[in-house]
Amino acid sequence: MSNSRRFVSKLFQNFGRVEPEGSSQTCQSQILMQYNDIVESCHSGCYVMLPFGQRALDKLVRVVDEEMQAIGGQKISLPTLAPAKLWKKSERWDDALNELFTLKDRHNVQYCLGPTHEELVTNLMAMYSPISEKRLPIKFYQITRKFRDEMKPKHLLLRGREFEMKDMYSFDASESEARETYDIVCESYSRLFSRLELPFAKVEGATGNIGGSISHEFHLMSSVGEDKLLFCEKCSFRSNSELVKDQSTVCPTCDADCQLRTSPGIEIGHTFLLGTKYSSVFKSTCMKSDRGIDLTHMGCYGIGVSRLLQGSVEVLSSENKIRWPRLIAPYQICILPHKGIKAAAEQYLATSLTLSDALNVMPNLKHEVVIDDRQQISLGKRLFDAKRLGYPYIIVVGKRIQENPPIFEIIETSTNESHFLSIDSLKDFLSTVETI
Amino acid sequence: MSNSRRFVSKLFQNFGRVEPEGSSQTCQSQILMQYNDIVESCHSGCYVMLPFGQRALDKLVRVVDEEMQAIGGQKISLPTLAPAKLWKKSERWDDALNELFTLKDRHNVQYCLGPTHEELVTNLMAMYSPISEKRLPIKFYQITRKFRDEMKPKHLLLRGREFEMKDMYSFDASESEARETYDIVCESYSRLFSRLELPFAKVEGATGNIGGSISHEFHLMSSVGEDKLLFCEKCSFRSNSELVKDQSTVCPTCDADCQLRTSPGIEIGHTFLLGTKYSSVFKSTCMKSDRGIDLTHMGCYGIGVSRLLQGSVEVLSSENKIRWPRLIAPYQICILPHKGIKAAAEQYLATSLTLSDALNVMPNLKHEVVIDDRQQISLGKRLFDAKRLGYPYIIVVGKRIQENPPIFEIIETSTNESHFLSIDSLKDFLSTVETI
């Protein structure tokens, strides 16, 4: 049992670092994550996920896994080293070269570090081609580290040179089926972001270097966002301003009097209906009962997972307090034993340990509980730390445990509301907390 | 509920590929994994984990996570791009250069793709130095992709140029405490490999380019292994033959008459007691109550996770049948509805769906059940497929479901034993299956 107890004194946290002067060019989430030991900057555009950040990231990966698998996504992983030969075949090499990290191996073969993997995955499908149309759609996805040699890395994980990305690639037997798959994936994106309780918008996006006929972007609404989005209040027009000619702010689908609302956004997802752009190059084909062998129709769908992590913190937090999408908070519960005089302090700690054990055996709370055992520090200071780090629930163990039955104070940090509950009511209350 | 049903007809499996002629230089696990759509070779030393392989890998990662966290390991992730500057500072750059992938970014700054991360992690600790000794030991670990420009990639995942590695780095306040931590990590390795039911040996290893004073290797005993291990039957001497001078086969700690037994091994883990080799270079220090500021004493500990995956298949499988460590089998259960005439076939399938639903709600079997719905194929052929792929449990749904109560045949593939059970007994039987 003691194995499951996590003590704040032993976690890599609370180093009390302060924001250095002159860091005004950063954004709120960068400051919150860097000075609360969530993420550390390593070298230009490259970061260390520290233990709290890694826990949140691992949970976010599991949420994405669940949503992708719920629509039949099959997880794979492709190599990081992508042969230049394949990128030249798809004619993306020269266009993208500025932002590619490239290298040669000991045999002088050239590679890039894959920023996206249309070439590799289509080439993989070609090895299995022609595939029976009965097996389609196939939706492969991976959640792996990607690379882009950004000119100006910025805002920590929001624009890094290494980042975690979920990329899905779909293969269908026809254009109309590919379009259906495209819609299904877009809907799963909306479900994912809703499940994370995030304010997001889906807009039309540019196809750019990746290509295709239809493209949408998913954005978090935030002043930190580098994209400018346009919304029409009258019709359904929603678009990245890149798509609008001459920086016009008049709705292209309504009339000349209709001014568009503009808003900055952080791009967290991007979808492309690719058609046969890659399948024709790499010969990814399927076998149809009526028409013989035909090219597969593809879609590709990205989510910037590490960017989504920081973007969530950016839009949910206040200046001094990190707020996570509750589902992916590094830990759900922080137990705070009061200070008190010696005998009382020992009793508060002992009760906290027992409480931690009792919560840890609840199926939804396994490994979700930490005990802030730093009793030499005042309760107020530790309460401040706990709120700052964004544990969704804080349980204070103090004098009222001497009542019959013992009473615990539980604070919901999202509302700052307190409840005073017996152990049974507390467990009831916490039994509905969704975790992953 | 139907969301949780997985149909074999929709899985990326059973393409019926056959081993090409002239592939005699490969090993059993390579053939089994490549021709059963577990792993696909992409280009020299680089692989695609296909859906079955990825599921097993993800589970293996979770087992490793559990064992590392059980000894207080805190998960992080370090950048892939490791600055040449840091590697030159530790004087590893020139030694390792042959096997490093190196590249320059757009600003002409040089990096390698990290094969191990002593430099980055010690540099990270230096940012937090001096650290109070009360916070030590700190055991950071990551499970990320690593890179080595092997001259001769071989045997698929056993010697690749990209591979998944778990690397842990420990920081202690003194040599004796570092030694204690070293022993604790070694014990956790033994627990991990035992939990996977693998035949392994721990031997003394060379410190090589990584350095340090003590080193051990963990090996799977297999004729495919590239390392030659020496064992003394009389004393506790167990060593990699690299450490023995002049290829001697006489035990160096017993007497001249004592011949060593030799055995090939696949290296799956390697541990190093580093001392202050890296902390002195990068100034990773701690604050001691009695002696002021002092260097931290380090250890580093690797597990080749993707190599362990294939190595397990290598040592557990037979020529035609994949066997996984049961805990990490891609799926635990395959349900096979009999063929039968039309009405019967429909009933077998319907019962299989209900059974799948009933098993999927058991906490240990969520997402662990697949239904081989390819009823146009004979039961014998599908049974062969299921045994070939190594599902630990196969449930045949046939005529005996018409009995009262309905009877299911469950086959344990590890022993090939059959049991004929009612649904309640079946659920009891399967309730003890450990999953992760």
Number of domains in chain A: 2
User: Among B38, B44, B67, B74, which would you mutate to test the A interface (most chain A Cβ atoms within 10 Å of its Cβ)?
Assistant: B74
Same structural domain, B395 and B421: yes
pLDDT per residue as tens digits for the range B144-186: 999 999 999 999 999 999 999 999 999 999 999 999 999 999 9
Q: Please indicate, yes or no, if residue B406 is contained in any of the structural domains.
A: yes
Lowest-pLDDT choice from A24-33, A39-48, A69-78: A24-33
Task: Report the 10 Å Cβ neighbour count for B212.
Answer: 19
Q: Among B58, B105, B124, whose Cβ lies nearest the Cβ of A149?
A: B105
If contacts are CB pairs under 8 Å, which of residues 147-186 in chain A contact chain B?
147, 149, 151, 161-162
Q: Among A10, A42, A113, whose Cβ lies nearest the Cβ of B72?
A: A10
pLDDT per residue as tens digits for the range A52-67: 999 999 999 999 999 9
Question: Looking at the predicted structure, is the pLDDT value of residue A256 above 70?
Answer: no
Question: Which residues of chain B lie closer than 8 angstroms to A98, CB-CB?
Answer: 106
CA distances from A144 to A78, A302, A318, B63, B141 (A): 8, 11, 30, 19, 18
Q: Is A103's CB within 8 Å of B102's CB?
A: yes
Give the distance from residue B48's alpha carbon to the nearest chain A alpha carbon, in angstroms.
5
Tokens of B282: 């990068």
Across the A:B interface, residue pairs with CB atoms under 8 Å apart total 135
Q: Is A79's CB within 8 Å of B149's CB?
A: no
Assess contact for A203 and A217: CB atoms under 8 A: yes
Same structural domain, B293 and B391: no
Q: Is B48's CB within 8 Å of A75's CB?
A: no
> Domain range spanning residue A164?
66-314
Q: Is A149's CB within 8 Å of B44's CB?
A: no
Same structural domain, B397 and B270: no
Average pLDDT over all residues of chain A: 94
Nearest to B436, CA basis, from B303, B328, B352: B328
Q: Is B51's CB within 8 Å of A74's CB?
A: yes
Question: Looking at the predicted structure, is the pLDDT value of residue B209 above 90?
Answer: no
Q: What per-residue confidence (pLDDT) applies to B256?
A: 67
Q: What per-residue confidence (pLDDT) applies to B259?
A: 85
If contacts are CB pairs under 8 Å, which of residues 210-239 in chain A contact chain B?
none
Q: Please indicate, yes or no, if residue A393 is contained in any of the structural domains.
A: yes
DSSP state of B20: P
- Compute the distance between CA of residue B295 and CA of residue B309 in angstroms, rounded to an integer: 37
Q: Which amino acid is at A211?
A: G
Assess contact for A240 and A205: CB atoms under 8 A: yes
Same structural domain, A335 and A380: yes
To the nearest whole percent, how much of chain A has pLDDT over 70? 98
If contacts are CB pairs under 8 Å, which of residues 235-274 in chain B contact chain A?
none
Q: What per-residue confidence (pLDDT) applies to B22?
A: 59
Q: Please indicate, yes or no, if residue A399 is contained in any of the structural domains.
A: yes
Same structural domain, A380 and A425: yes
Q: Is A15's CB within 8 Å of B128's CB?
A: yes
If contacts are CB pairs under 8 Å, which of residues 278-317 in chain A contact chain B?
none
Q: What per-residue confidence (pLDDT) applies to B253?
A: 84
How does residue B23 score in pLDDT terms, banded at 50, 70 and 90?
A: low
Same structural domain, B178 and B299: yes
Mean pLDDT to the nearest integer, A192-208: 94
Q: Please indicate, yes or no, if residue A254 is contained in any of the structural domains.
A: yes
Q: CATH number of the domain at A403, please.
A: 3.40.50.800
Would strands A285-288 and A227-231 be described as parallel, antiparallel, or unpaired? unpaired
Query: Scanning every residue of chain A, which has its alpha carbon at the shortest distance from the alpha carbon of B17?
Result: A128
Same structural domain, A77 and A160: yes
Mean pLDDT to the nearest integer, A275-287: 98
Question: Which residues of chain B lie closer than 8 angstroms to A191, CB-CB?
Answer: none
| DSSP H or E segment with residue B304 | strand B297-304
Question: Which residues of chain B lie closer than 8 angstroms to A110, CB-CB?
Answer: none
DSSP labels, B35-91: HTTSEEEEETTEEEE-HHHHHHHHHHHHHHHHHHHHTT-EE-B--SEEEHHHHHHTT
Same structural domain, A236 and A113: yes
To the nearest whole percent, how much of chain B has pLDDT over 70? 98
Contacts 24+ apart (CB under 8 A), B362-365: B362/B427, B362/B430, B362/B431, B363/A363, B364/B430, B364/B431, B364/B433, B364/B434, B364/B435, B365/B332, B365/B333, B365/B430, B365/B433, B365/B435
Same structural domain, B284 and B361: no
Q: In what order do the strands lie in the sheet with A110-113?
A: A81-83, A110-113, A102-104
**Spacing of C-alpha A212 from chain mean position:** 25
How far the first Cα of chain B sits from its last, in Å, is 21
Q: Is A48's CB within 8 Å of B78's CB?
A: yes
Same structural domain, B106 and B144: yes
CA distances from A311 to A45, A95, A158, A225, A325 (A): 16, 28, 7, 9, 11
- Compute the distance between CA of residue B138 and CA of residue B123 in angstroms, rounded to an integer: 14
Query: Scanning every residue of chain A, which has its alpha carbon at the shortest distance from the alpha carbon of B102?
Result: A103
Q: Please indicate, yes or no, if residue A30 is contained in any of the structural domains.
A: no
Query: Scanning every residue of chain B, which has its alpha carbon at the shortest distance from the alpha carbon of A13?
Result: B135
pLDDT per residue as tens digits for the range A121-178: 999 999 999 999 999 999 999 999 999 999 999 999 999 999 999 999 999 999 999 9
Q: Looking at the complex, does the CB of residue A77 fall below 8 Å from at least one CB of chain B?
A: yes
Q: Is A102's CB within 8 Å of B103's CB?
A: yes
Kindly give, in sequence order, each residue whose CB lies less than 8 Å from that of residue B347, ignoring residues fewer than 6 positions away.
B340, B401
Q: Is B51's CB within 8 Å of A75's CB?
A: yes
Q: Is A120's CB within 8 Å of B54's CB?
A: no
Assess contact for A77 and B54: CB atoms under 8 A: yes
Same structural domain, A182 and A305: yes
- Compute the distance between CA of residue A430 and CA of residue A432 in angstroms, rounded to an integer: 5
CA distances from A16 to A20, A43, A336 (A): 12, 22, 18
**Spacing of C-alpha A220 from chain mean position:** 11
A284, A314, A344: which is the final residue of a domain?
A314
Q: Please indicate, yes or no, if residue B398 is contained in any of the structural domains.
A: yes
- Compute the distance between CA of residue B13 and CA of residue B391 in angstroms, rounded to an integer: 13
- Compute the distance between CA of residue B323 and CA of residue B312 in angstroms, rounded to an integer: 8
Assess contact for A201 and A236: CB atoms under 8 A: no
- Compute the distance between CA of residue B416 and CA of residue B390 in angstroms, rounded to an integer: 11
Q: Is B120's CB within 8 Å of A149's CB?
A: no
Q: Please indicate, yes or no, if residue A18 is contained in any of the structural domains.
A: no
Q: Is B48's CB within 8 Å of A78's CB?
A: yes
- Compute the distance between CA of residue A3 and CA of residue B363 in angstroms, rounded to an integer: 22
Same structural domain, A297 and A356: no
Q: Is A105's CB within 8 Å of B55's CB?
A: no
Question: Looking at the predicted structure, is the pLDDT value of residue B407 above 70?
Answer: yes
How does residue B4 score in pLDDT terms, banded at 50, 70 and 90?
A: confident
To the nearest whole percent, how much of chain A has pLDDT over 90? 85
Give the distance from residue B412's alpha carbon to the nearest chain A alpha carbon, in angstroms.
26
B313, B342, B362: which is the final residue of a domain?
B313
Q: Please indicate, yes or no, if residue B436 is contained in any of the structural domains.
A: no
ipTM of the complex: 0.96
Residue with tokens 């302060």: A18
Q: Is B51's CB within 8 Å of A105's CB?
A: no
B313, B339, B357: which is the final residue of a domain?
B313
Q: CATH number of the domain at A161, please.
A: 3.30.930.10
| DSSP H or E segment with residue B298 | strand B297-304
- Compute the distance between CA of residue A404 and CA of residue A424 in angstroms, rounded to an integer: 13
Question: Looking at the predicted structure, is the pLDDT value of residue B255 above 80?
Answer: no
